[in-house]
Each structure stands twice: as C-alpha cells, then as structure tokens.
Amino acid sequence: MPREDGKRMAEMFSMEIVWRIAVWIGDVCLHAIDGYSRSRKFMKKAGQTGLAVIVNYSHKRHASEADVERLKTFFVKIVKYHVEIVEDKAKSTLMQTFESIRKNEMTSKAADKYHCFVLVMMCHGKPKFFIFQACRHQPGTRTDESDNLESQNLKEELHQDADLLVSYATTPGYKAYRELYTTEEGSWFIREMINVFKERYEETDVINIMMEVRRKVEKCRTSNGEFQMTQDLLTLRKKFFL
C-alpha cells in the first residue's frame, strides 16, 4: 500500500471517526435478544456465535503477522467465531468491505446467527480493538421488551450509540509499542489481550478482562523504560461475555 494511503488510513481511524464506523456497521441489526431487559448480562441464544473482522495494515509494521495469527487462532479455534481477515486494502476498498459485511451479515435473519460483532483494526502500530454488541437498532426503532414479567406493553428505545466497546492500544498522543527484535511477539496490546482472553473468557466479562489487559500492558517496558496505557471507551449497559 502506498505511503500516502497508509497516512490517510491512520487519519481515518481517529477516535471520533472510529466510533462513527462502529455505529454505522452495527446499527442495522434489527433482531432483539430474548430477555434483554430482564438480565444483567447480554444473553447468547443457543447456536449463536460471534462475527470477527480483522483489518491489518502491515506498512512499517513488520511483526503484524504475529498479531493476525494470534487473533485468528483465538477467534477461530477457541471461541469458534466466524472470522474475516482484510489486509492492506485502500480506503475505498475497505469501506466497500464494511458495506458488504453490513448488508450480508448484520441485517435481519443473517445477523441472528451472531450474538456480537468484533472488529480489530491494526494500523501504524496503533491496534484498536472493537466489540460491537449485536443487538442494535436504527435510530427511532423500538423493541417490545419489558422489565416487568406481568406487563408486556412497555417499550424501550435504544440509542444508536448503545452497547459499544472501543479499546485502544494507547491513550491519545502516545505510541503503541511492539517487540522490535523479533517478529514472533507482535504488539504488546494484542499479545497481552489474547493471553488474558485465553485464560479468562469463559468466566470473566470483557470489561474486567480489558482492565486486566491494561495492568499487564502497563508492566511492559522498552529498552529505554518507556511504556503505554491502554484506553477503553464504552457504552455497554450490561456484562458482556465472548
């Protein structure tokens, strides 16, 4: 990919733009999860799995293959998600890919196969981990869900920004580090995240997992003593498990 395209991709994935992409992809899923309002955690129906899309830009990121392999192994072999991998695509092609996923996987009956949508974007050393809860609605759409078992007439309107988690490898203005002298370790963020997921995904919700990831990444150091702090932005209203 040309250097200018790589630069534009980095600009495209600013915090505000990334959040809009999350809403844009997720907000056409029109199905509702049974018992949504009665539970304190997002429920997964029998037979449902997750949809994970891994987007990787390898320009100046020579160890990114290790990150892709870690993510693929975890989501395909361990949690049995449907996974799509997109690598080194121009902005227009990437947006076409998102549009295809939105139309083919995130609407009506197709989306009912999934209980969540995970998008991992890795670009210029700043991987971003997204979890979009799949029960989403277009602005103004209402669902017949009640907190009172005796009353089925109450209706809840879901905000288009509801039930999102965006996890950044680092805080604004700071670098995201990776191991420089080996291509096997990849980035600190992806490495520690997958390690914690493997150990705790069955009994621990994602928010608490990401806090543990933050603690582990904080302990990593470069040869000059530099380190990084991960950051989560979230509107999740309930506990969310992979």
Q: For residue range 5-59, list pLDDT tens digits in order.
A: 444 454 445 555 555 566 555 543 333 333 444 678 887 888 889 989 998 887 6
pTM exceeding the 0.85 threshold for the entire prediction: no
**Cα 180 to chain centroid, rounded:** 25
Element (H, E) at 49: strand 49-57
DSSP state letter for 196? H
Q: What is the pLDDT of residues 72-88, one digit of tens each?
A: 999 999 999 999 999 88
- Dig out the tokens for 203 from the structure: 């009994």
Tokens (6 digits) for 35: 């018992």
Identity (one letter) of the amino acid at 28?
V
- List the structure tokens of 45: 């129906």
pLDDT tens track for 145-190: 433 334 344 345 566 677 888 888 888 888 888 876 566 778 899 9
What pLDDT score was predicted for residue 93? 87
Are residues 97 and 86 in contact, defined by beta-carbon separation less than 8 angstroms? yes
The pair of structure tokens assigned to 102 is 């939105």
Average pLDDT taken over every residue of the chain: 74
